[in-house]
């Protein structure tokens, strides 16, 4: 929970009012409904929300890798002073892997099964090298990357194929591949969700060390608030295609000011705090094709007022470095640890 990394600086990436729909049809459902978030240099930002809330689509927009059916209708993704959405294909190619890299939930599926790990690493190192490198140098860098992700005996492991690695080891290989271009930002989409708990903890430790050592920022996408609390400096919570709250991690879990965040924290089973009942959020997230009017969360909200059904709230500052998309954010009680 290093707060130093989040002092007020010019953000590395700034997503501004990003809107995207499923198809060109004006009637098509909107999957991103004005997403705004910043990631500072070297910052580890958690992106939390339930399935379909738009977490992965937000990350993919930063690499301009949204599925072809998804149409960006307005907004900007500012990176290094330019809008990613305006870059030419050649410029975009330099950003991908070189400035912004991505890792996924299922590493084995994202590694090529017919090439050795060494061949894949070397190809990526060559692609990102500013000058032509000799074979020995490429090999040296590949060994160094495997060493950085703490793979034992990296020299011998270069000759292994992806299927010869366990899930946790394959995730380390994918992280090594992502690091090959020395990115400023790593997009990590549920990178530990398929792993056993002990391996998950190892990967979280690894990510944190690498981010701190290299000054690399991470966008950590997860549905697991526990893992997010352990890793991230700050958290953005998404609901139905929007960021509904944005605050430092400790604030998000103790004094959330959006009712959805509060309910999410209180619905979490915790070994350290077994309760007779978990707090319930009634119902489930509405389909994006059929969203309620006003605040999209109001039908499930324990604190909703009459005008929540008619007036759409804006994401607004409620405290220093704390934003919430709720008209009544100031009245939301903090989580009482005794009863939570």
Question: Which spans of this chain sit near other proteins (rule: CB under 8 A)?
Answer: 50-51, 150-152, 168-169, 172, 196-202, 204-206, 208-209, 223-227, 229-231, 253, 263-265, 267-275, 277-282, 284-285
**What are φ and ψ of residue 255, in 5° steps?**
-130, 60
Which residues are CB-contacts of 97 (< 8 A; sequence separation ≥ 6)?
124, 127, 128, 178, 180, 181, 183
Least Cβ distance, residue 61 to other proteins (angstroms): 22
Least Cβ distance, residue 151 to other proteins (angstroms): 7
Count CA atoms within 13 Å of residue 3 on its CB side: 6
Round to whole Å and give the CA distance between 104 and 205: 17
Nearer to other proteins, 32 or 264 (CB): 264
Asked whether the CA dihedral 250, 254, 259, 265 is positive or negative, the reply is: positive
10 Å CB burial of residue 180 (0-12, 13-18, 19+) is: buried
Nearer to other proteins, 126 or 223 (CB): 223
Least Cβ distance, residue 24 to other proteins (angstroms): 27
C-alpha angle 80-83-89 in degrees, rounded to nearest 5: 100
DSSP 3-state of 47? strand
Nearer to other proteins, 76 or 340 (CB): 340
Least Cβ distance, residue 250 to other proteins (angstroms): 10
Contact 151, 118 (CB under 8 A): no
Nearer to other proteins, 73 or 224 (CB): 224
Nearer to other proteins, 212 or 316 (CB): 212
Which residues are CB-contacts of 201 (< 8 A; sequence separation ≥ 6)?
none
Nearer to other proteins, 202 or 312 (CB): 202
The set of long-range contacts for 272-277, using a CB threshold of 8 Å and a minimum separation of 24, is: 273/337, 273/340, 275/340
Least Cβ distance, residue 259 to other proteins (angstroms): 12
**Residue matched to tokens 């937000």:** 58
Nearer to other proteins, 36 or 249 (CB): 249
Of the candidates 61, 59, 14, the residue with the CA atom closest to the CA atom of residue 36: 14
**Residue matched to tokens 């009459």:** 306
Least Cβ distance, residue 282 to other proteins (angstroms): 8
Least Cβ distance, residue 74 to other proteins (angstroms): 28
Nearer to other proteins, 168 or 181 (CB): 168
Least Cβ distance, residue 131 to other proteins (angstroms): 33
Bridge partners, residue 238, by sequence = 243
């Amino acid at each position: 929970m290093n707060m130093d990394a989040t002092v007020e600086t010019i953000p590395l990436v700034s997503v501004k009012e990003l809107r995207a729909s499923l198809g060109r049809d004006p009637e098509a459902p909107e999957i991103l409904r004005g997403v705004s978030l910043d990631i500072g240099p070297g910052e580890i930002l958690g992106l939390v929300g339930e399935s379909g809330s738009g977490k992965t689509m937000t990350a993919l927009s930063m690499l301009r890798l949204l599925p072809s059916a998804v149409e960006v209708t307005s907004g900007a993704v500012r990176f290094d002073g330019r809008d990613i959405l305006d870059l030419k294909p050649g410029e975009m190619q330099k950003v991908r892997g070189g400035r912004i890299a991505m890792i996924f939930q299922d590493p084995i599926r994202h590694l090529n099964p017919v090439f050795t790990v060494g061949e894949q690493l070397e190809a990526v190192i060559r692609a990102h090298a500013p000058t032509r490198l000799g074979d020995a140098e490429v090999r040296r860098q590949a060994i160094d990357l495997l060493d950085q992700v703490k793979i034992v005996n990296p020299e011998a492991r270069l000759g292994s194929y992806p299927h010869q690695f366990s899930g946790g080891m394959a995730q380390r290989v994918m992280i090594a591949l992502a690091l090959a271009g020395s990115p400023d930002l790593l997009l990590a989409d549920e990178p530990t969700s398929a792993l056993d708990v002990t391996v998950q903890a190892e990967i979280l430790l690894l990510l944190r060390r690498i981010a701190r050592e290299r000054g690399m920022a991470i966008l950590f996408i997860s549905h697991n608030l526990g893992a997010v609390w352990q890793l991230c400096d700050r958290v953005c919570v998404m609901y139905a295609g929007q960021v509904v709250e944005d605050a430092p991690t400790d604030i998000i879990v103790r004094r959330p000011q959006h009712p959805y965040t509060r309910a999410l924290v209180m619905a979490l089973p915790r070994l350290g705090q077994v309760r007779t009942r978990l707090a319930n959020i009634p119902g489930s997230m509405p389909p994006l094709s059929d969203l309620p009017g006003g605040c999209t969360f109001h039908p499930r909200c324990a604190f909703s007022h009459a005008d929540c059904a008619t007036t759409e709230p804006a994401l607004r500052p409620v405290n220093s470095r704390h934003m919430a998309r709720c008209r009544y954010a100031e009245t939301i009680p903090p989580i009482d640890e005794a009863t939570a």
